[in-house]
Structure 1
């Protein structure tokens, strides 16, 4: 049995500098080289990965290891972004693996119509991420200075708790207004919107509670206008933090509704 599998990063159209063969200067998952595998008018960026880590059985265990998953995700993202700097890419989901390059070619042939349609839709567009945070105040851990001498500490505590609930409600209300304004303003430029689950725990970065975690598909030449509109639309809101990231390859809009073969599975012979 072959001890290596073919890990597919993205579907592209072949170009002079992305022809069949190695992609110089690009390193992928498991520190492996990246190559282009072609089939007619389409191609895929592929790398070899060890079966011991990427077989269907191994992935069921590996995908529970957040440190390992983060390393794979970073390497996968690095390859896709390197490709996106050269051409339009249709990113594939993390850990899309096949038994060999011939199976990759077979998937490209059978999915040519779907892949081509999606590449046409994404050409000239980039993804921008917009996260909205409500800057919610922390719960009072100790009496405030003006409550320290109060004759009824319990009543003072309840007063502080009530104030915190009011401030929390205000912050969430302002954050909801920020989401509405951003969608209204930026939506005039973006051609598609994808809503993701708000990030919590280890995935959340920075202060505040993540209220919205959205992605916008934007014509590349209007990126600066998009960013300006997002910033302007929320400038006067208090207790709200807006994070704009990008431009990225259009991960959120590369969802195949008619997958030739389920990503994440090892293709059969």
Structure 2
């Protein structure tokens, strides 16, 4: 058994000076990054590294993926390679830990899907991904004061009134979040060509006490990026208890496959 396997980060359009860029990169397991050309021509290439087989065999990989420190290191290296290549050419990012036994197997996959990859790369050329998350934070919204009704309330009635006020605040904040989402969608219709809906972040994936209620990605032409970002950043203006977070631009991770084949994706030409 070989002690190395082929780890593939992305499919990319070949471009001038791409080889020069690649030779300066190290990726997963600090392994040098290489280009694996297609079997028919050099129009498309795989961005790859040789990595230790012992870490990426099926049984070992299942255990490794439960090691958060290892997983974070692999994810950071994986995305760093993709982002670097994306500054020079159009890329189709592949999933974390996409591994083949050797370059020949990887090249066969590229050759078998060349038409699909070519079409998608043409679609993604001169486009980038922006992430949009909407959070609700009821604790930051002021409660509406109820009019005083005669004498002081009993503890039981005071508790019920407090609960009603809390529920009223939550209802108002969620309504405001829907308004913000409508604004973001309108911005997307004007400036983006596709939208991917992702599951909201919960549990260990959520790095904030606020509740994530929208977690979307938009595919935006380079010429529309400033207008898109500015419009999204204004979506929560005047809305208390709602926060909109926009991140990017990124390589088009959420749009590597056509919308019909992308999880939770909504087809263009609007998001």
Does the pair score TM above 0.5? yes
1:35 aligned onto 2:34: yes
Runs of 5+ consecutive residues of structure 1 not aligned to the other structure: 139-149, 260-269
Q: 2:79 is matched with which residue?
A: 77
Q: 1:111 is matched with which residue?
A: 113
- Number of equivalent positions: 248
Q: Structure 1 residue 65: deviation in Å?
A: 2.5
Asked if the contact 1:29/1:47 (under 8 Å) is kept, the reply is yes
Shifted more, 162-171 versus 248-257: the winner is 248-257
State how far apart, in whole Å, the 2-side matches of 1:22 and 1:245 are.
25
Paired residue secondary structure (1:27):
coil
State how far apart, in whole Å, the 2-side matches of 1:128 and 1:13 are.
21
Paired residue secondary structure (1:49):
strand
Q: Deviation per CA, 1:112-154: give whole Å up to 9, x if none.
A: 101101100100000000000011229xxxxxxxxxxx67333
Change (3 A) 1:229 1:151: closer
Change (3 A) 1:22 1:178: closer
Q: Deviation per CA, 1:227-264: give whole Å up to 9, x if none.
A: 111123331222110000000000000136899xxxxx
Q: 1:60 is matched with which residue?
A: 62
Shifted more, 78-87 versus 185-194: the winner is 185-194
Change (3 A) 1:230 1:3: same
Matches within 5 A, 1:1-269: 1-19=1-19, 23-39=22-38, 40=41, 41-137=43-139, 152-255=154-257
In the superposition, the TM-score normalised over structure 1's length comes to 0.86
Q: What is the root-mean-square deviation in Å for CA atoms of aligned residues?
A: 2.1
Q: Deviation per CA, 1:156-192: give whole Å up to 9, x if none.
A: 2232222111111111111111111110123211000
Asked if the contact 1:136/1:209 (under 8 Å) is kept, the reply is no
State how far apart, in whole Å, the 2-side matches of 1:42 and 1:73 are.
24
State how far apart, in whole Å, the 2-side matches of 1:104 and 1:22 are.
21
Runs of 5+ consecutive residues of structure 2 not aligned to the other structure: 141-151, 262-271
Q: Structure 1 residue 34: deviation in Å?
A: 0.6
Change (3 A) 1:99 1:77: same
State how far apart, in whole Å, the 1-side matches of 2:13 and 2:126 are.
14
In the superposition, the TM-score normalised over structure 2's length comes to 0.85
State the 4+ residue runs in structure 1 displaced beyond 4 angstroms.
256-259
Change (3 A) 1:194 1:152: same
Q: Structure 1 residue 22: deviation in Å?
A: 8.0
State how far apart, in whole Å, the 2-side matches of 1:28 and 1:165 are.
49
